[in-house]
Structure 1
Amino acid sequence: MTPLLALSQCAACLASVTPCPVHEDNSGAHGDIVVTARRVGERLRDVPVSITAIAPDASLNGTLDAATEISRRAPNVSITDAGQGRRVALVRGVGLLGLPISPFDTTIGIALDGMPLSSDVGFSQTLDVTRVEMLRGPQNVLFGRSSQAGTINLVTRQADGTSELNASFEVGDTGLRTVEATAGASLIDGILAGRVAVRSARTRGSLRNLGTGSALGANEVTAGRASLRLTPASGLRMRLSLYREETTGNPSSYVVKETKDKALNWLDVDPFESRRVTTGALELVQETPGFEIAASAGLQAIDLHGDLELTDALLYARIFGRPPQEFTNSAATDFSAVRSRERVQSAEVRLSSNPGGRVRWIGGLSAYASRYAYGNRQTNSISPASNADVTARIATRSLSIFGEVGIPLSRTTALTLGARAGRDLTTFRSQFDSLGTPGVIPAFNEAARVKETWASGGVTFEWRPGGNRMAWISFKTGRSPAGFASYNPNAGKGVSQAPYRRSMSLAYEIGGRHALLDGKLDVSVSAFYNDVRSGHLQALDFVNSRTIVEALDYRTYGIELEGRLDTGVGFDIVANGGLTSTSIGEVPTGSVTGARRGNRVPGVAGATGFVGVGRKVAFVDGMLDTQVDIQFVSARAADLSNAFDLAGHASINARVAWKKGRLSAHLFARNLLDRRAETLGTQFLSVAAVFLGPRRTVGIGLSWQLGT
């Protein structure tokens, strides 16, 4: 089965956000995909939004960074691990132009069953997730703040009363060990159902640290998800879900681009990071003859811990033209210890029309509140002004009202209008205490706030001539809120931090879908143009050891093509491709970011592609399932100055599974050609440095369906 999620058409699937038990196994071969892009379950053919729906199959669940792998399966999408659980995400060339400077600094919304997540929660593990919906283009109307470029919605499997008990195990040559188990049951017939899933996974690193002899890039993850579903009366359902994840590891670091094939660092101590995430959600849904009302509340707790030596001897030797031994034994003088803690509460009440009505509508109220604490003790011989204890507190509150209505204009045309308006308040407090460096002020306190009233919206015209065809034209506005960085790099000079401005964009899109060959071939195509104002960007000022934050205008445009073919002779083929062109606008005079008018937006690939081929045949009294995936990403600018490009790369993943009865065994290879991708890059004076993706992993796995 290929990663594209196919669910057969039925009334139960269309009437609920959760697909019915019959089709939740993703086994439908010719039916429509069911998505929740408009906050209710709908056939993909009925949704005028560019969407890629992906089922996190076994080949993805075994990875510890499924977010990056999943992003490669959608055109014009990039998600890159930035360390400490944070991701750098770009959709259609729109996104954060640099590393996240706070959990609020993002233009890509991430939601769990529709609940907005902090960017520090990020993707987490795709544990017991039935599909991932990649919604491209502004989604601020229905998914709220920080959805300027798009939204990634994780849809989990829900407790439905089906009795099941499953277990799986995987082992690979990179030290990969994954154990997973899921169980579900009806606790009170027809009233209460429960479901639980757990996973433990680890892998060793593949980047050698000459200073300690260790291998950097190791990770260990333990995660669990549990849910209860209560249906005490007809038309009323309640859902309670909990998720917990703990991750530890010694993350990779920048390596000199010229020596990437050696994959070497030289640090006196291994870096360390840990991440603890807890989320909980409660949802109540009441169906009535005329409409549906839903109320939900969510809690999130995120704790991050990172220790990092700042001086890599191999990198600094290249920068200063000296032997690397001169930059060793620096752990006491070039070190950063970062701690952060965030607590989030969210709530929403919405009303929506029942499926099948002539006029489709949805509206509601949303609230989001976060309390974030940051601390960093840093010693830095290159930039003595950074030698300090820094603490910060950022609190944000957002209230908004939203609505969308779809009005039929004729038998074949319809118009959708949507808008969201709200008010945000963000406060920032920080304390800087010098470690006694001469010329640096001993202490500096600051406090600031930013508040704004805002609105975003859009209009979409749809045309449905029949025959499983549709086309649309849309115009939407996107927004990413203003805010503050977690730290002020100029505090040692007694200069207060100014908030970064909100970013706004105008997004134009034309798209269409068509089912051919009696539904065996599904094709979708779209073209887009984004005009982004005050896009949040960052650049590294190596000399002063600081991150520069600046707002720049830029434009992106491109095309996307997706297709799925069931050949009818056992083969299932999924393919997509995207082209994106970007250009930065006027750059303020005197800017030290290195940006120039006409430069490409960093991190954006000019071309992306994916082809997945699946084949099922009977074999030795069982079923043999073979999958081969090829992913391609072209070269892209590493930074704002376009000083160098991250190399393009292609990767091949393969999986062969044999299933008989309740037992399944499989062989797998991830990154079969063992080509390490360049995922992030920056220029340290005249030296180009890059982050590297994982090496090849080859292994075996077993799974059992222990009972139903």
Structure 2
Amino acid sequence: MTFRYVRSACLLGVAASLLLSTAGRSQTAVDEKSDTKDDAAVEDTITITARKHLEKVSDAPVSTTILNEDDIRPSALDPGAEIAGRSPTTNFVDYSRFGETFMNMRGVATLGTPLNSLDSTIGFAADGVPTSISGFAPILLDVERVEVLRGPQGTTFGRNALGGIVNVVHRKADGTNEARLTAETGSDGHTFVEAAGGASLVPDTLALRGAVRYQKYDGDIYNSILDRKVGGAHIGAGRASLRYTPDHSLTIDLTGSYSRDERSNPAYLLLETPDFPTSGEDVVPKNRRILAQGTLDIQKDWEDFTFTSVTSYQQIDIWNYGDFTDTLILSEIFPLPSLWTNPAIDKVGTAEEEGLFTQEFRLNSPQKQLLQWVVGANYFRSDYTLDRTANNNPLVGATFNGTWDNRITSQTIALFGDVSVPLGLDWEVTGGLRLARDTQTLESHYKGAPPLTVASLDQKSSFADNYASGHAGLTYHWGEGLMSYASVARGYASGGFEKATPFASQGATSPPFHPAKSWTYEFGTKSVFGTTAQLDVAAFYNEVKDGQLTGFDNTTFQVYTTNQDYESYGVEASGQLRLTDWMALFGGVGYTESEMVNVGGASGAAGARNGNRVPQVPKWTANLGISLTLPGEYVALPGTFYLRAQEQYMGARYADLANAQKMEDYNIVDTRIGWRNENLDFYAFGDNLLDERPISFSVDYAGPTAVYAGRGRLLGIGTSVKW
């Protein structure tokens, strides 16, 4: 990438800042015209916690998207895709199997598939507690909001927040006495029932909150071999939290959650089939994830600081089983359908277990103090095991037959600090630093199926790295509701070992892959114009060294891993506009240019070239929505009528390093229309009204094209009762 592109991106950010500063100084605040909150109101009081302290979102010097229940329906089966679709320059890559889905932001991406459970460029956390790819993305149960922060967040979240962080904030047991029951029914067997509520057990001292859910979906992809639908889901989940506040200075939150999520997602589908999507697998695929978590959060306030201790343990169990020799696809290459329709062979079953322990201690400055700071220490441990059995047809993939018994143990110890220092009335300087040590050990045992594989191979290896990540920034407040910032950040994604040791069947051990490191430069402006409008604009440039890469050569059926440098730059904008008391527009748009640089070695042999786009990174992303509310009194009825419609656009992306497989752009349109009052809500909804099938991965099998495809149209009705 030449300097002029970087310069152009920076100048665009500065120009946007100056333009908005002029608009902000001339904008007169518009008074609130109604005492009742409606969907059209522009919020300026949202506080976020993703950076480990409370701050108003309009003042945070970071590009942010805040999503609430109106933005993502609680019954959404693919919350990762929903979050990405409503966040500029963000893409969710769904490989239809638990433990292999991931997200990218601003062109900072996983280059292929995740190498292990900790190989991610985007961090994911629940109430500030990080999880791994094994736990991403869970169902959204009793959620207050989702915070999406773009750009490296390694100071407070550590490794693997190279491109950004997604933090899910759940509702707390705050002593409010309430109960809510929601039920939905819809097409393709959609069934959803959720109950949630809270109560004060001892006034001002002990409070309880809980939620339970049952959800079912029959699927909408026809399997022509089994004559049935696949792609279905069965979900059961529960969450409970207890809050103890013996006095005004001490808060203890104890939270436990459990979910069992079962899917029947097909693997590759033949894109060229006339009745796409149709599956040709000869067994029903099985995808299951059980996720249990317990968290103890203790917060004690003193006059000069607040002490917080967060202790959490997660247990994640995953089972993926399926047929990777789809009859429709391989019959295009070898026209013998009976050869591929055998439930006894060509199956891969993978069981994964991961235990995650996190302990964090931190000190925060008092909330009302001008000098804001946080310092802390964090310990993270992952105990991951993989058991895999493969019995592939001799014509395809027999060199990968056998059984694997792998264990990866990872630990991180870190110290971190972050500070915001006011410089007079208008300027503020921010900075943060994290010092950490990663260690990872691999113990692998492989048993093969000679003569096409070795008889056995054992490996025991270790990897360690000391590193620093952090950021520095400068903020200027032009006036009430308007600020601009510039920042530079150092990001880090941990190195380690490939979880499946793909070379073992050929008698080769797996070397560790290098950690990825990045520099990110950003210019941005945030503006709130009274209760009328809000607009955020940011320009960015990312330089990534040793991006972690994995790929699959479908002609030789060989897996390769390596590291590859890449760069990206772009612009993103998001905002809201209140047109009237009853109508508002909201949305965002992002533009990203990306390219691979310094290509050589295994990357070049795999088809990468200098200047090729980074896989799975679209040039354009956009979302646009409208919210309408109409008081029932206008038509002589009680309550309020409402309509909310959102469209998300995902631009074309390449699936591979060689940029040979291009996935077309798509639009997803969701709507919800209903009537509600203080206690009742009746609504109808339509998800993916255009019935477009989002393609998340594509590979050319020397003629036929195999793809992963998302869900189609879903129509339904629902009701919610509160008391």
TM > 0.5: yes
1:39 match: 52
Aligned partner letter, 1:659: R
1:483 match: 496
Contact 1:59 1:655 in 2 (8 A): no
1:139-288 to 2 correspondences below 5 Å: 139-259=153-273, 262-288=276-302
1:505-544 to 2 correspondences below 5 Å: 505-516=518-529, 518-544=530-556
How far, CA to CA, are the matches of 1:690 and 1:441 in structure 2?
31
How far, CA to CA, are the matches of 1:645 and 1:58 in structure 2?
29
- Residue 519 of structure 1 and its aligned partner are, at CA, apart by 3.3
1:421 match: 435
Per-residue CA deviation, residues 482-541 of structure 1 (Å, 9 max, x unaligned), is: 01111111112221100111000000000011122x331011100000000111122212
DSSP-derived class of the 1:450 partner: strand
- Residue 324 of structure 1 and its aligned partner are, at CA, apart by 4.9
Per-residue CA deviation, residues 43-74 of structure 1 (Å, 9 max, x unaligned), is: 11221011100003386212211221121111
Bigger mean CA deviation after superposition, 99-108 or 28-37: 28-37
How far, CA to CA, are the matches of 1:219 and 1:287 in structure 2?
44
Bigger mean CA deviation after superposition, 539-548 or 456-465: 539-548
- Residue 682 of structure 1 and its aligned partner are, at CA, apart by 2.3
Does 1:555 find its partner at 2:562? Answer: no
Contact 1:84 1:304 in 2 (8 A): no
Equivalent residue for 2:102, pick from 71, 80, 88: 88
2:457 match: 444
2:374 match: 362
Per-residue CA deviation, residues 662-692 of structure 1 (Å, 9 max, x unaligned), is: 2211011111111111122223344332111
1:603 match: 616
How far, CA to CA, are the matches of 2:626 and 2:305 in structure 1?
42
Per-residue CA deviation, residues 238-295 of structure 1 (Å, 9 max, x unaligned), is: 1011111101121122222233752112111121111100011101001111111101
How far, CA to CA, are the matches of 1:434 and 1:274 in structure 2?
26
Bigger mean CA deviation after superposition, 359-368 or 266-275: 266-275
1:6-155 to 2 correspondences below 5 Å: 29-57=42-70, 60-86=73-99, 87-155=101-169
Per-residue CA deviation, residues 302-329 of structure 1 (Å, 9 max, x unaligned), is: 00111111211111123x2x32514333
Does 1:629 find its partner at 2:646? Answer: yes
Aligned partner letter, 1:626: L
Aligned partner letter, 1:37: A
The RMSD of aligned alpha carbons is: 1.8
- Residue 26 of structure 1 and its aligned partner are, at CA, apart by 9.1
Per-residue CA deviation, residues 536-587 of structure 1 (Å, 9 max, x unaligned), is: 1222122443432221000010000111112233012111100001001122
Change (3 A) 1:197 1:113: same
Bigger mean CA deviation after superposition, 181-190 or 533-542: 533-542
DSSP-derived class of the 1:604 partner: coil
How far, CA to CA, are the matches of 2:37 and 2:84 in structure 1?
22
How far, CA to CA, are the matches of 1:241 and 1:546 in structure 2?
44
1:688 match: 705
- Residue 385 of structure 1 and its aligned partner are, at CA, apart by 2.1
- Residue 612 of structure 1 and its aligned partner are, at CA, apart by 1.1
How far, CA to CA, are the matches of 2:715 and 2:611 in structure 1?
43
How far, CA to CA, are the matches of 2:300 and 2:81 in structure 1?
37
- Residue 659 of structure 1 and its aligned partner are, at CA, apart by 1.3
Aligned partner letter, 1:146: N
Instruction: Please give the TM-score of this superposition, normalised by the length of structure 2.
Output: 0.92
Instruction: Please give the TM-score of this superposition, normalised by the length of structure 1.
Output: 0.93
Bigger mean CA deviation after superposition, 52-61 or 186-195: 52-61
How far, CA to CA, are the matches of 2:476 and 2:291 in structure 1?
44
Does 1:654 find its partner at 2:667? Answer: no
Equivalent residue for 2:356, pick from 344, 358, 365: 344
DSSP-derived class of the 2:233 partner: strand
Per-residue CA deviation, residues 399-425 of structure 1 (Å, 9 max, x unaligned), is: 000001111222211111110011111
1:459 match: 472
1:14 match: none
DSSP-derived class of the 1:37 partner: coil
Contact 2:59 2:526 in 1 (8 A): no
Structure 1 spans left out of the alignment, 5+ residues: 1-21
Change (3 A) 1:485 1:421: same
How far, CA to CA, are the matches of 1:377 and 1:24 in structure 2?
56
Contact 2:40 2:578 in 1 (8 A): no
Contact 2:44 2:528 in 1 (8 A): no
2:592 match: 580
How far, CA to CA, are the matches of 2:615 and 2:69 in structure 1?
28
Does 1:469 find its partner at 2:447? Answer: no
Contact 1:312 1:327 in 2 (8 A): no
Contact 1:160 1:229 in 2 (8 A): yes
- Residue 589 of structure 1 and its aligned partner are, at CA, apart by 3.7
How far, CA to CA, are the matches of 2:678 and 2:311 in structure 1?
41
Bigger mean CA deviation after superposition, 304-313 or 471-480: 304-313
DSSP-derived class of the 2:624 partner: strand
- Residue 660 of structure 1 and its aligned partner are, at CA, apart by 3.5
DSSP-derived class of the 1:224 partner: strand
1:663 match: 680
Equivalent residue for 1:405, pick from 410, 416, 419: 419
How far, CA to CA, are the matches of 1:662 and 1:443 in structure 2?
64
1:306 match: 320
2:23 match: none
How far, CA to CA, are the matches of 1:490 and 1:561 in structure 2?
44
How far, CA to CA, are the matches of 1:440 and 1:38 in structure 2?
49
1:617 match: 630
Structure 2 spans left out of the alignment, 5+ residues: 1-34
Per-residue CA deviation, residues 185-212 of structure 1 (Å, 9 max, x unaligned), is: 0011110000001111111111211111
Bigger mean CA deviation after superposition, 376-385 or 556-565: 376-385
How far, CA to CA, are the matches of 1:417 and 1:661 in structure 2?
45
DSSP-derived class of the 2:720 partner: strand
How far, CA to CA, are the matches of 2:274 and 2:482 in structure 1?
48
Contact 2:40 2:583 in 1 (8 A): no
Aligned partner letter, 1:327: L
How high is the sequence identity, in percent, across the aligned residues? 30
Change (3 A) 1:260 1:77: farther
DSSP-derived class of the 2:189 partner: coil
DSSP-derived class of the 2:134 partner: coil
Does 1:330 find its partner at 2:330? Answer: no
Change (3 A) 1:605 1:261: farther
- Residue 24 of structure 1 and its aligned partner are, at CA, apart by 12
How far, CA to CA, are the matches of 1:338 and 1:349 in structure 2?
36
Contact 1:30 1:520 in 2 (8 A): no
2:402 match: 388
DSSP-derived class of the 2:115 partner: coil
Change (3 A) 1:193 1:23: farther
DSSP-derived class of the 1:327 partner: helix
How far, CA to CA, are the matches of 2:40 and 2:416 in structure 1?
35
- Residue 622 of structure 1 and its aligned partner are, at CA, apart by 1.9
Aligned partner letter, 2:668: S
Q: Which runs of 4+ in 1 moved over 6 A?
A: 22-28
How far, CA to CA, are the matches of 1:638 and 1:324 in structure 2?
29
How far, CA to CA, are the matches of 2:343 and 2:150 in structure 1?
44
- Residue 162 of structure 1 and its aligned partner are, at CA, apart by 0.6
